[in-house]
Chain A
Amino acid sequence: MAIVSALSTKHLLGIKYITPQDIETIFTTADNFKEVLNRPVKKVPSLRDITVANLFFENSTRTRMSFELAEKRLSADVINFSASSSSVTKGETLLDTVNNILSMKVDMIVMRHPAPGAAFYLSQHIDASIVNAGDGTHEHPTQALLDAFSIREKLGAVRDKKIVIVGDVKHSRVALSNIFCLQKLGAQVAVCGPPTLIPKHIRELGVQVFYDIKAALEWCDVGNILRIQLERQDIKYIPSLREYALYYGVNKDLLDSLSKKIVIMHPGPINRGVEINSDVADSGQSIILDQVENGVAVRMAILYLLASSNPA
Chain B
Amino acid sequence: MAKGRIILKNIKFQLTIERLCNQLIEEYGNFDNTCIVGIQERGVLLSDRIVSVLYSIDKNFAFKYGKVDITFYRDDFRRRDTPLMASNTEMDFQVENSQVILIDDVLYTGRTIQSGLIALGHYGRPAKVELLTLVDRRFNRHLPIQPNYAGMVIDAIDEAYVKVEWDEIDTKDQVLLYQNREAAT
The reply to whether the CB of B1 lies closer than 8 angstroms to some CB of chain A is no
Enumerate chain B residues within 8 angstroms of A29, measured Cβ to Cβ.
Answer: 85-86
The reply to whether the CB of B83 lies closer than 8 angstroms to some CB of chain A is yes
Q: Are A312 and B85 in contact, CB atoms less than 8 angstroms apart?
A: no
Enumerate chain A residues within 8 angstroms of B41, measured Cβ to Cβ.
Answer: 1-2
The reply to whether the CB of A310 lies closer than 8 angstroms to some CB of chain B is yes
The reply to whether the CB of A5 lies closer than 8 angstroms to some CB of chain B is yes
If A32-B71, A35-B89 touch, whether A6 touches B77 (CB-CB below 8 Å) is no
CA distance A40 to B123 in the complex (A): 7
Q: Other than the known A3-B85, A308-B83, what 10 A-B pairs have Cβ atoms closer than 8 Å? A: A1-B84, A3-B83, A35-B88, A39-B91, A39-B122, A43-B122, A46-B77, A305-B83, A311-B79, A312-B79
Residues on B lying within 8 angstroms of A by beta carbon are 41, 69, 71-73, 77-80, 82-89, 91, 94, 118, 121-124
CA distance A2 to B86 in the complex (A): 8
Q: Are B122 and A32 in contact, CB atoms less than 8 angstroms apart?
A: no
Q: Are A6 and B83 in contact, CB atoms less than 8 angstroms apart?
A: yes
Enumerate chain B residues within 8 angstroms of A305, measured Cβ to Cβ.
Answer: 83
- Give B76's nearest chain A residue, CB to CB: A312
The reply to whether the CB of A4 lies closer than 8 angstroms to some CB of chain B is yes
Which one, A4, A44, A310, contacts B73 given CB within 8 A?
A44
Q: Are B86 and A32 in contact, CB atoms less than 8 angstroms apart?
A: yes
Residues on A lying within 8 angstroms of B by beta carbon are 1-6, 28-29, 32, 35-36, 39-41, 43-46, 49, 304-305, 307-312
Enumerate chain B residues within 8 angstroms of A307, measured Cβ to Cβ.
Answer: 77-78
CA distance A32 to B84 in the complex (A): 12
Which one, B69, B84, B88, contacts A4 given CB within 8 A?
B84
Q: Are B86 and A45 in contact, CB atoms less than 8 angstroms apart?
A: no
Q: Are B79 and A45 in contact, CB atoms less than 8 angstroms apart?
A: no
If A32-B72, A39-B123 touch, whether A45 touches B84 (CB-CB below 8 Å) is no
Q: Are A312 and B83 in contact, CB atoms less than 8 angstroms apart?
A: no
If A35-B89, A39-B122 touch, whether A311 touches B78 (CB-CB below 8 Å) is yes
Enumerate chain B residues within 8 angstroms of A39, measured Cβ to Cβ.
Answer: 89, 91, 122-123
Q: Are B78 and A2 in contact, CB atoms less than 8 angstroms apart?
A: no
If A35-B88, A40-B122 touch, whether A46 touches B72 (CB-CB below 8 Å) is yes
If A1-B84, A2-B84 touch, whether A40 touches B78 (CB-CB below 8 Å) is no
| Closest chain B CB from A307 CB (angstroms) | 6
| Closest chain B CB from A302 CB (angstroms) | 12
Enumerate chain A residues within 8 angstroms of B72, measured Cβ to Cβ.
Answer: 32, 36, 44-46, 304
Enumerate chain A residues within 8 angstroms of B124, measured Cβ to Cβ.
Answer: 40
Which one, A5, A36, A312, contacts B78 given CB within 8 A?
A312
Which one, B77, B79, B123, contacts A41 given CB within 8 A?
B123
Q: Are B71 and A4 in contact, CB atoms less than 8 angstroms apart?
A: no
- Mind listing 20 A-B residue pairs with CB under 8 Å? A1-B41, A3-B83, A4-B82, A4-B84, A4-B85, A29-B86, A32-B72, A32-B86, A32-B89, A35-B89, A40-B122, A40-B123, A41-B122, A41-B123, A44-B72, A44-B73, A304-B72, A307-B78, A308-B77, A309-B83
| Closest chain B CB from A107 CB (angstroms) | 10
Enumerate chain B residues within 8 angstroms of A35, measured Cβ to Cβ.
Answer: 88-89
Enumerate chain B residues within 8 angstroms of A45, measured Cβ to Cβ.
Answer: 72-73, 118
CA distance A49 to B123 in the complex (A): 23
Enumerate chain A residues within 8 angstroms of B85, measured Cβ to Cβ.
Answer: 1-4, 28-29
Q: Which of B85, B87, B88, B124 has the most CB of A within 10 A?
A: B85
- Give A47's nearest chain B residue, CB to CB: B77
CA distance A32 to B73 in the complex (A): 13
If A6-B82, A40-B123, A45-B118 touch, whether A1 touches B77 (CB-CB below 8 Å) is no
Which one, A3, A32, A41, contacts B69 given CB within 8 A?
A32
| Closest chain B CB from A309 CB (angstroms) | 8
Enumerate chain A residues within 8 angstroms of B94, measured Cβ to Cβ.
Answer: 40
| Closest chain B CB from A182 CB (angstroms) | 24
